[in-house]
Amino acid sequence: MALKIIVCAKQVPDTNEIKIDPVKKTLIREGVPSILNHDDANALEEALKIKDQYPDTHITVVTMGPPQAKDMLIECLAMGADEAVLASDRALGGSDTWATSNALAAAIEKIGVFDLIFAGRQAIDGDTAQVGPQIAEKLNLPQVTYVSEFELAEDQKNITVKRALEDGYELIKIQTPCMLTTIKELNSPRYMSIGGIFDAVKKEIPVWGAADLGVNADTEVGLDASPTKVYRSFTPAPKGQGTVLEGDSEKDVVDQLLIGLKSKHVI
């Protein structure tokens, strides 16, 4: 009874590398690298740790994205995943979290029987943390989000996890099949191995469109089917220019600051 694990991952722009054009107030995204989303790397690592212990475990990574997302899937294979699937189609473009979870749930059902789904808690470009739970809802699975510790019993069925809270944690027991979303405290993702890279590039990565997934492009996936729409978007306004205080000494400058705060009734 080899375990079958599915890992949901996303290729994202490295938002730390994005800068704003100071004059035009627009995003400068030239030269911004695309990376495997951090939390998703933790999701894959936890699956790989299970495979380290039970080598007959089979790991399939699934993503939805443009054709270039294949690069990220190759990285996942090179880290040690057995298989990767890309859901990619113009008809999937512009999906919000509801529509994305329809597409990914359909992809997971097409992959077939599974015991466990790991997904990163959230992606750094959207920060919604909604797709994992919504896939679980559509597959009618129990879920635990914010997983910071994971332990699989020897029966490969019973799982004990820690779920991080703002002021502590919950200790939760859950059984397969289930969806777990992972945070960085869970583990340290491994690097790709040379042999892994060599094998990864030789592997076939199937690309599934809306028709392959059996999803309706008008009512289930894509921009039109998404219940949320973008009304407006804009770059955040910088605050009005403040005052840079200058003076002969630190004391002089600090006195100006305190006088300013007092005159504005801040203190």
Q: Which of 151, 167, 204, 248 binds another protein (CB under 8 A)?
A: 167
Q: What is the DSSP string of 147-193?
A: EEEEEE-TTSSEEEEEEEETTEEEEEEEESSEEEEE-GGG--PPPPP
Task: Please list the residues that pair with 86 across neighbouring strands.
Answer: 63, 207
Per CB under 8 A, the segment of 41-49, 52-60, 74-82, 134-142 that binds another protein is 134-142
Least distance between another protein and beta carbon 15 (Å): 3
Backbone φ, ψ for residue 22 (5° rounding): -65, -25
Under a CB-based contact definition with an 8 Å cutoff, are residues 42 and 183 in contact?
yes
Binding residues for another protein restricted to 36-55, rule: CB under 8 A: none
State yes or no: residue 261 binds another protein (CB under 8 A): yes
Per CB under 8 A, the segment of 2-10, 12-20, 50-58, 188-196 that binds another protein is 12-20
Q: Which of 53, 170, 199, 206 binds another protein (CB under 8 A)?
A: 170
Reduce the DSSP state of residue 238 to 3 states and report it.
coil
Q: Which of 2, 124, 154, 192 binds another protein (CB under 8 A)?
A: 124
Using the minimum distance from each CB to another protein, give the nearer residue, 8 or 48.
Answer: 8
Under a CB-based contact definition with an 8 Å cutoff, are residues 146 and 181 in contact?
yes
State yes or no: residue 163 binds another protein (CB under 8 A): yes
Binding residues for another protein restricted to 181-220, rule: CB under 8 A: none
Which uninterrupted H or E stretch holds 71?
helix 70-79
**Amino acid making up residue 151:** E
State yes or no: residue 250 binds another protein (CB under 8 A): yes
